[in-house]
Amino acid sequence: MENSRELHQAEAFIWSRTFNILDSMSLRCAIQLGIPDAIHNHGKPISLTQLIAVLPIHLTKTPFVERLMRVLVHRRFFGLAEEGYVLTDASKLLLKDNPLSLVPFVLGILDPFMIKPSQCLGTWLQNDDPTPFHTAYGTTFYEQVEHDKELARLFNDFMESESGPVVNVLTNKCHEDVFDGVETLVDVGGGTGSVTKAIAATFPNIECTCFDLPHVVADLQGSPNLKFVGGNMFDAVPQANAILLKSILHNWNDEQSLKILESCKEAITIKDNKKKGKVIIIDIVIGKNGFGDEDDDQNYKSIHTQLLYDMQMMVFFASKQRNEKEWSKLFFDAGFRSYKISPIFGLRSIIEVYP
């Protein structure tokens, strides 16, 4: 009987992980139907009948909405009060008008085009293609972005959404010391400038530069202390007191990341003994998070999410998320002398690296 119980527990474990993709698809469906905003706009708990009445549901499909909501409630995307459905902290981040909305992030990750490469993982491990993305589409992700306007829009929206919580942290008084002594800053791979704009607005004394490929920054408008500059980070990085790398190095393997860090080290200017330049990295450090280590279950879930993000990097770029030992080796190989890791609220950390 004991073996039978263990057998069925193992079966249930595998079933659960296999069906987890339907959690993601149910979440995507909720966003596509506008369920978070419908609950929010109702202003109070909303009944199933009231919810169906305001959703773009075909008449023949109304019996299925309750089952969709049942799994979304069970997974805590929504709550269920006596009077009806309510938002949770998670679903508040799915409101379209929320400045920190993660809707583009979710829709970007769960777009069918973006999911297909992960289905090629097994095939990729048996061939000599550079990435599973290449196995799926015969090109690199960045080459595809350059020629596919819809994918470029999806990617830019995704990056801006992913940047929201980071902007909130960087401009928070708790982390103002990160910019102490900084007079000039270059945001390398800054995209359309959502992070750079926020830093420039919060710290008007800092001269900010958003640096990315010429076609990315073309026609983008700056401000009195913000400019956009086109170039290639593998060739050279504009000089500054501080170089910001947000979600950049996880896109590149160790050899490529080393080149980027060496370019950043060359770009740092040191004007006097009191103001030393640094590289500011916003990225995942596997095993560290801003939730603390007291809640073992939360810590386990955080590390699991970091590991899944690591797999995402492998699928798209054959790159990786790194633990502290791996980060440390990169920094010292690039000629830096020290670093400081500060986990922020969430899965990422601020890493300050000093020459």
Number of residues written out for the chain: 355
Question: SS3 for 124?
Answer: helix
Q: How far apart are CA 107 and CA 281, in angstroms?
A: 26
Q: Which of 42, 58, 134, 250 is catalytic?
A: 250
Q: How far apart are CA 31 and CA 46, in angstroms?
A: 17
Nearest to 216 by CA among 226, 235, 231, 201: 231
Told to judge if 250 belongs to the known catalytic residues of this protein, a careful annotator would answer yes
Q: How far apart are CA 42 and CA 38, in angstroms?
A: 6
Neighbour count for residue 289 (Cβ, 10 Å): 23
Nearest to 105 by CA among 117, 116, 94: 94
**Cβ-proximal residues to 113 (8 Å cutoff; 6+ apart), any chain:** 151
- Decide: 261 and 330 in contact? Cβ < 8 Å: yes
Q: Could you give phi then psi for residue 45, rounded to 5 degrees?
A: -50, 135
Helix ranges, the chain (H): 2-33, 35-42, 48-54, 62-74, 89-92, 103-109, 112-115, 121-124, 132-137, 141-147, 149-170, 194-202, 214-217, 254-267, 296-317, 324-333
* Active centre residues (catalytic): 250
